[in-house]
Amino acid sequence: MGAKAPPFQWGVHLGPSPTLGGMDDLSQLRRSYERAELDESASAAEPWQQFARWLDEALSAKLPEPNAMTVATVGPDGRPSTRIVLIKGFDARGIVWYTNYESRKGRELAGHPFAALQFHWVELERVVRIEGQVERVSAEESDAYYRSRPLDSRLGAWASPQSQVISSRAVLVANAAKAAMQHGLNPPRPPHWGGYRLEPEAWEFWQGRPSRLHDRLRYRLDAGQWVRERLAP
């Protein structure tokens, strides 16, 4: 008789299909969302106020990077792209972040000034989605935020040709050293760097619920007024 097959060990793949077991395991991953609910009567009349409530709760819960959001843009070929950035401000006018205007997202927004944002606060079982038109913030706003950044970050804005191919990390280090020599302790804001504001046309607040019967409230603009409506999960 031949030797017995060794017992299965997690992470050790046997046979010609090394990913099959992993895919089968992924199909069984699920959880029941039971932390909270989102009812129309308890939600704010203005979506940015509802966002302020949820962001404050995410901050109070000390979640890891509660200010991180996905930004989705569309290129000239119609293909979407996403990346993570950090929200730096918001009010009734919209959501603000800062970046390199010559980056991929900057170029795509120049050609198609619309974007979608998403916050995912896993521990609170919540998602916020925002869609709308994007424009640059004023030079004064960009200058003020740039001056508030740590010196290394201000120099980094000069050093990185964001989204461009570079030969090695040494290029960034050399660029940063050159910027430090040139600008010293008070570098000006680079002309290619500044803020964007997404002016929302639609917000969606998603709260996980049991049995996949999640709560979804959407706010959409209609004749200048926000209309709140429930979406099926």
212 flagged as catalytic: yes
Q: Which positions ≥6 away from 213 have C-beta within 8 Å?
A: 233
- 10 Å CB burial of residue 156 (0-12, 13-18, 19+) is middle
H-state helical runs in 78-223: 104-111, 139-148, 151-159, 169-183
In DSSP terms, which residues pair with 200 in a beta bridge? 132
3-state SS assignment for residue 85: strand
Taking alpha carbons only, the member of 103, 119, 138, 108 closest to residue 200 is 119
For residue 24, the surrounding DSSP H or E stretch is helix 20-26
**Cβ neighbours of 104 (radius 10 Å):** 16
* Single-letter residue type at 139: A
Give the contacts of 45 (CB within 8 A, at least 6 positions apart). Answer: 226, 228
Residue whose structure tokens are 């293909």: 79
Catalytic residue from among 53, 93, 212, 230: 212
Task: Enter the DSSP assignment of 187.
Answer: P
Which sequence positions are flagged as catalytic? 212
